[in-house]
Structure formats: C-alpha cells, structure tokens
Amino acid sequence: MENQKLMQFDSLLYTIYGSAPIDKIKLDILRMLYHLVPCTFCSILSYTDHEDLTATYHDNPVCFPEAYTIVEDTYIKLEMQDKNRWVSWEPDCKVYRTSDLYQEGDIREHSPIYRNCFAPYNLHYAVYATLRHDGKGLGCLSLYRDKTTGDYTNEEVMILQMIARHLSQRLAADKQTADGSVPLVNAVPTDAEEKLLDLAVRCRLTARELEVLKSLTLSQSMETWAQQLHISEHTLKKHLQSLYRKTGVNRLIQLYSLKN
C-alpha cells in the first residue's frame, strides 16, 4: 500500500475508534473510505439478527454520497429476492465481490436486485463486507462501482477485510454500552495487530492467507490446524506455500517470527 493510502487507512482507524458515538461518525467513515477505496458510492446498513429467514435483515442505511440512499432503500424492499442473502449469515466478518459470487454473463443482470438497484444508477460491480462480532450480525459495509471503473482488486478486498473487522469491534462495543453490558476489552487494535495488518498489506496477502497466518502456532499439527480453519491439509499447504513466496521466508518458524 502506498504511503498516502497508509495515511488514509490510519486516519480511518482513528475515526472508527474515536470518542464520538458510532452513529454520529458513520458518514465520516464512509467519506474517508470513499477516497481510500474509490467507488461510486459506499454504505453501511444496520443488521437485525433473528431466526425468521423470511424477514428483512437490513435497515437504517447510511450512504456517501447521500444521494445514493435511494439505492439501499430499494434493496431493503427487495431483500427477500436476493439469492445471496446467505453471506449475511456467515459467523465471521467476510468480504465478497459480486464477481466472486457470479460469473460474467450469467443470470445476475436479469435478477430483480440488479435490475432495480444496479442498472438504473449505472452500477455494475459491488463488494460487501459483513460486519459481525462473536457470531452476531451487526451490519453490512458495501461499495459500488460502474462498469467502466472496473472490479475491486485483491488489495482493495484486503483493505476492506481489515476495516470491516475494526468497524465490527467498534459497533459491538457501542452496542454493549447501549445494552448496559461490559464494554469490549482491547477494542482498539494492539501494536501486534497493527504490524500484522501492515504485513498483510505490504505482502498483498489475501484475506484467507491472513487468517492462516493469524492462526499459526508451533504447538499444533497440520491436521489440527486445517480442521480449525475448516479446510483440507492440502489446501492449508497451498496457503503456506503462497505465504512463503509472498513474505520471502521458507520455514514455518520464520513465518511464526514474522507474525510475532
């Protein structure tokens, strides 16, 4: 990540963990994100966690530029027709590009969501970051682009993965405070976390590679490690080979040293 973007990223984190109530700074967060990851518009939707799969899950959209609020208002009305609602049920923060969910030229452009929320506003590409903490839904961070601008890069997806995790921590902390429960401990990222995130950006790690690196210990077998990540040992080894190549090391102990 270039120096200017690193400064923008740091400023965004300071805003997320500032003293102002989160609802008062959502628009500021989106305004900064709009410049960090260029897009036509970006939004934060609140999330209502309940067991009724036939009910609408999102509400209270905040958008920048604000003129695009109509897009998310339309989506909320059509949410029940969104075949990708399942991404909101993932237990952890995840980032998805529409191009990861659909192949170009398939039925996506004929779907009610595309016809009513994308096409009328010259939008084509989108990336969604689910906001969750301890398995509980908190909201969705979304960015949209037109077709000529192009899709979101792997680096931009990585940046959004990091922002989503921090934003989820802040949303959860404010929710606990509002509920009168004990606030989150260590909501602000530690120096070790910041160094790990910086390493991920500099080495252009994918979100999955960062997850593998974060879970690395020297006391568990490959089998146990793979089970923890819900992947096969073969897939784990492929991720490790990619991590070795990107970080310039060739041994697990060296990778562990980088992490710590």
What DSSP state is assigned to residue 204?
Answer: T
According to CATH, where is 1.10.10.10 located in the chain?
A: 191-259
Alpha helices of the chain — where are they, by DSSP H? Answer: 3-16, 22-36, 69-78, 98-101, 112-113, 154-179, 191-202, 207-214, 222-229, 233-247, 252-259
Residue range 3-179 in CATH 1.10.1060.10: no
What are 128-145's pLDDT values in tens digits? 999 988 888 899 999 999
Residue 185's pLDDT is what?
A: 43
CATH number of 191-259: 1.10.10.10
Distance, CA of 123 to CA of 111 (rounded, Å): 14
What DSSP state is assigned to residue 140?
Answer: E
Bridge partners (DSSP) listed for residue 140: 45, 130
What are 216-229's pLDDT values in tens digits? 887 888 999 988 88
Residue 21's pLDDT is what?
A: 87
Residue with tokens 């900064």: 32
Distance, CA of 169 to CA of 174 (rounded, Å): 9
At 188, which amino acid appears? Answer: V
Percent of the chain residues topping a pLDDT of 70: 87
Query: Mapping DSSP to helix (H, G, I), strand (E, B) and coil, where does residue 248 land?
Result: coil
Residue 184's pLDDT is what?
A: 47
Q: How far is C-alpha 121 from the geometric centre of its chain's CA atoms?
A: 24
According to CATH, where is 3.30.450.40 located in the chain?
A: 3-179
What are 239-257's pLDDT values in tens digits? 999 999 999 988 888 888 8
Residue 6's pLDDT is what?
A: 75
Residue 190's pLDDT is what?
A: 57
**Residue 49 and residue 136 in contact, taking contact as beta carbons nearer than 8 Å:** yes
Residue 67's pLDDT is what?
A: 96
Bridge partners (DSSP) listed for residue 127: 97, 143
Tokens of 112: 């009610």
At 204, which amino acid appears? Answer: R
Instruction: Please give the average per-residue pLDDT across 75-103, as a whole number.
Output: 83
Taking 90 as the threshold, does the pLDDT of residue 75 lie above it? Answer: yes
Q: Is the dihedral of CA 246, 210, 36, 128 positive or negative?
A: positive
pTM of the model: 0.70
